[in-house]
Amino acid sequence: MVLTEKYLRDADSVEMLDIIFETAKVPDLGTTFNYGSIWSGFVDLVVKNSTDFTSFYEKTVSKAEADIDKAIAGLNT
């Protein structure tokens, strides 16, 4: 694996990464469902090398929360 052979510098780091990969089995629903397009918006900011995270978040969070509420309501029906 390139990560362990090229980027990690000691055996403890490799061991820790192995533990993370072996135990981290829960998906991140925020990135999976991209509520309110907030995840893809953050990715776009990074790609554009923008530091405008706060204003992006402030204008996007209500849409993301509405999408989450809609998903939860769908589970309750």
Domain that holds residue 21: 1-26
Q: Give the per-residue pLDDT at 76.
A: 82
Residue 23 above 90 pLDDT? no
What pTM, to 2 d.p., does this model score? Answer: 0.60
My answer on whether 73 and 39 are in the same domain is yes
The 10s digit of each residue's pLDDT in 32-63 is 899 999 999 999 999 999 999 999 999 999 99
21 and 38 in a single domain? The answer is no
| pLDDT of res. 3 | 67
- Position 28 scores a pLDDT of 81
Same-domain check for residues 10 and 38: no
Cα 65 from Cα 30, distance rounded (Å) = 11
Do 21 and 39 share a domain, yes or no? no
Could you give the number of structural domains in the chain?
Answer: 2
Mark whether 21 and 49 lie in a shared domain: no
Cα dist from 66 to 13, 30, 63, 76, whole Å: 40, 13, 5, 15
Q: Indicate if 22 and 50 belong to the same structural domain.
A: no
